[in-house]
């Protein structure tokens, strides 16, 4: 069920973004009186699921859900329709328009995607505001991925600084290490302040081991809500119970508790807990997934959080800042793709879909849609033939030299770009399949 919900969110999100991206091209094409022959969501080789024609434009939905397109008269695009190129240019064709108009037509999709992200961030901040747990609220410290233990971090440490960057939220620790090449971490351990060196190769280790969460909050195990009919429910656990051991092995924090349950899969475990200051020992059957069936108290409930609310107009500059900072951080992350470890991190539709929440959460959905809109804008403006950025590159060349690349050159460039993009698509989704099978 979770996979289905994530898939539906992914399809809806990408459909919205593809339609808006193509509308950006369509808008500028119509603004400059350029004929648009087709406007499609998804691709339609051989047949369409739905189509109708209005004026000169055929609107439709294809059967191959790998994006969408607008077909503009007089333009060499992914359709590779060269028949019209053998005819004299017509006033309504793309190739007849001035270079600056063709440039705006090509950047229209990217522009709309970036503006879409800003509008979504604006509305998210207006409706839900921003909330986060300050790192200083982590009174039990952090727990770390095993790879972090290799550089001297210990569970219970609290990271205060990464070089000169103050750690305000826990997720910025890994970001600073990966993107800012920090060399030291200042930590608090048992009330003392100390400095740990960060080896130069640690960034590559994080990427090579595909570490998703480098640090998280140490959380006491407190039952918040029971899953109706679960093993924990039948055994008599109650909201507010504070679990301290499994089979007499101390589990002060949730990561320890999860590890002990994992060691007791498909068997009965003795759960030790405090209820109204009384220590109880309750036998509970553990499933073959290593679970007993309850929802623990969240970090928000245990540590408290900072909430920032925005008025309608206050949220606009905050949304712009969010969009710009998201784009900057993504561009900085993109350079990691060109390392051997980073290339293995590239994922396809499975990886993108996994970013959505397992249950339908509109705040998460719109945040992910804004994030994907930023990615779509950036990826499309890359100077690769067959992408918008490739066309922009050739148009800039034309504006500077006052000479158009030949149509034969454009055909070969388009074919090369399509081969590159298809190869990347196969590689990314191949990575997903490999991870699914072997991880």
62 and 120 in one domain?
A: yes
For residue 278, what are the β-bridge partners?
Answer: 275
141 and 120 in one domain?
A: no
Residue 264 belongs to domain with CATH number: 2.30.42.10
**Which residue in 404, 418, 383 sits closest to 78, CA to CA?**
418
Asked whether residue 360 is assigned to any structural domain, the reply reads no
Asked whether residue 308 is assigned to any structural domain, the reply reads no
**How does residue 247 score in pLDDT terms, banded at 50, 70 and 90?**
very high
Using the Cα atoms of residue 280, residue 286, residue 292 and residue 297 in order, give the sign of their dihedral.
Answer: positive
What average pLDDT does range 316-329 have in this prediction? 93
143 and 109 in one domain?
A: no
Asked whether residue 345 is assigned to any structural domain, the reply reads no
153 and 124 in one domain?
A: no
256 and 152 in one domain?
A: no
Phi-psi map region of 181: left, alpha, beta (phi>0 left; psi -120 to 50 alpha): left
103 and 123 in one domain?
A: yes
**How does residue 64 score in pLDDT terms, banded at 50, 70 and 90?**
confident
d(CA 108, CA 195): 49
Any alpha helices (H) in 355-387, and if so which ranges?
362-380
Q: Among residues 297, 327, 358, which one ends one of the domains?
A: 297
C-alpha dihedral (428, 429, 430, 431), degrees to nearest 10: 60
What average pLDDT does range 46-70 have in this prediction? 86
d(CA 166, CA 172): 9
Asked whether residue 347 is assigned to any structural domain, the reply reads no
Residue 408's SS3 state is helix
176 and 234 in one domain?
A: no
d(CA 35, CA 72): 6
162 and 116 in one domain?
A: no
Asked whether residue 323 is assigned to any structural domain, the reply reads no
Per this entry, what is the length of the chain? 439
- Judged against a pLDDT cut of 70, whether residue 341 lies above it is answered with no
pLDDT value, residue 342: 65
Residue 212 belongs to domain with CATH number: 2.30.42
How confident is the model over 406-422, as pLDDT tens digits?
A: 777 777 777 887 788 77
3 and 118 in one domain?
A: yes
- Judged against a pLDDT cut of 60, whether residue 85 lies above it is answered with no
Cβ–Cβ under 8 Å, residues 182 and 176: yes
The domain of 427 spans 1-128+366-438
- Judged against a pLDDT cut of 60, whether residue 79 lies above it is answered with no
Share of residues in the chain with pLDDT > 70 (%): 93
How confident is the model over 286-295, as pLDDT tens digits?
A: 888 888 888 9
196 and 243 in one domain?
A: no
pLDDT value, residue 331: 87
pTM for the full predicted model? 0.83
Share of residues in the chain with pLDDT > 90 (%): 35
Asked whether residue 334 is assigned to any structural domain, the reply reads no
Number of domains in the chain: 3
pLDDT value, residue 81: 55
Asked whether residue 228 is assigned to any structural domain, the reply reads yes
pLDDT value, residue 367: 93
d(CA 81, CA 417): 16
pLDDT value, residue 366: 94
Asked whether residue 356 is assigned to any structural domain, the reply reads no
118 and 40 in one domain?
A: yes
In whole numbers, what is the pLDDT of the chain averaged over residues?
A: 86
**How does residue 84 score in pLDDT terms, banded at 50, 70 and 90?**
low
pLDDT value, residue 270: 92
105 and 21 in one domain?
A: yes
Any alpha helices (H) in 196-253, and if so which ranges?
202-208, 231-235
Q: Among residues 174, 195, 217, which one ends one of the domains?
A: 217
List C-alpha distances in Å: 315 to 129, 136, 175, 324, 325: 8, 26, 25, 14, 15
Q: Among residues 217, 236, 256, which one ends one of the domains?
A: 217
How confident is the model over 27-49, as pLDDT tens digits?
A: 999 999 999 999 988 888 888 88
């Amino acid at each position: 069920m979770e996979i289905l919900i994530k898939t539906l969110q992914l399809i809806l999100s990408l459909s919205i973004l593809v339609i808006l991206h193509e509308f950006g091209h369509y808008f500028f094409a119509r603004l400059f009186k350029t004929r648009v022959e087709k406007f499609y969501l998804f691709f339609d080789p051989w047949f369409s699921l739905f189509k109708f024609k209005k004026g000169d434009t055929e609107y439709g939905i294809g059967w191959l859900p790998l994006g969408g397109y607008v077909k503009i008269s007089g333009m060499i695009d992914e359709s590779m329709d060269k028949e019209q190129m053998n005819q004299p240019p017509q006033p309504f064709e793309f190739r007849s328009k001035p270079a600056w108009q063709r440039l705006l037509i090509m950047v229209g999709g990217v522009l709309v995607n970036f503006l879409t992200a800003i509008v979504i961030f604006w509305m998210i901040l207006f409706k839900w505001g921003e909330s986060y747990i300050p790192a200083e609220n982590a009174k039990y410290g952090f727990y770390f991925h095993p790879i972090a233990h290799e550089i001297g971090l210990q569970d219970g440490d609290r990271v205060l600084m990464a070089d000169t960057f103050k750690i305000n939220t826990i997720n910025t620790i890994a970001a600073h290490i990966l993107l800012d090449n920090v060399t030291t971490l200042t930590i608090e351990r048992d009330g003392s302040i100390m400095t740990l060196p960060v080896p130069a190769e640690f960034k590559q280790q994080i990427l090579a081991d595909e570490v998703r969460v480098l640090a998280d909050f140490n959380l006491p195990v407190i039952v918040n809500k029971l899953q109706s009919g679960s093993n924990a429910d039948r055994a008599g656990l109650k909201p507010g119970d504070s679990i301290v051991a499994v089979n007499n092995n101390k589990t002060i924090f949730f990561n320890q508790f999860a590890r002990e349950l994992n060691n007791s899969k498909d068997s009965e475990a003795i759960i030790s807990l405090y209820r109204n200051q009384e220590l109880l020992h309750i036998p509970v059957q553990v499933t073959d997934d290593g679970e007993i069936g309850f929802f623990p108290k969240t970090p928000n409930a245990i540590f408290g959080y900072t909430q920032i609310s925005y008025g309608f107009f206050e949220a606009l500059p905050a949304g712009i800042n969010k969009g710009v900072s998201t784009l900057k951080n993504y561009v900085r992350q993109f350079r990691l793709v060109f390392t051997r470890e980073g290339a293995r991190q590239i994922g396809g539709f499975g990886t993108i879909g996994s970013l959505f929440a397992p249950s339908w959460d509109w705040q998460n959905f719109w945040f992910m849609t804004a994030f994907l809109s930023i990615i779509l804008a950036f990826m499309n403006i890359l100077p690769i033939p067959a992408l918008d950025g490739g066309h922009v590159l050739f148009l800039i060349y034309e504006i500077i030299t006052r000479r158009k690349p030949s149509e034969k050159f454009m055909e070969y460039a388009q074919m090369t770009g399509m081969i590159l993009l298809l190869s990347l698509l196969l590689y990314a989704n191949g990575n997903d399949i490999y991870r699914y099978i072997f991880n």
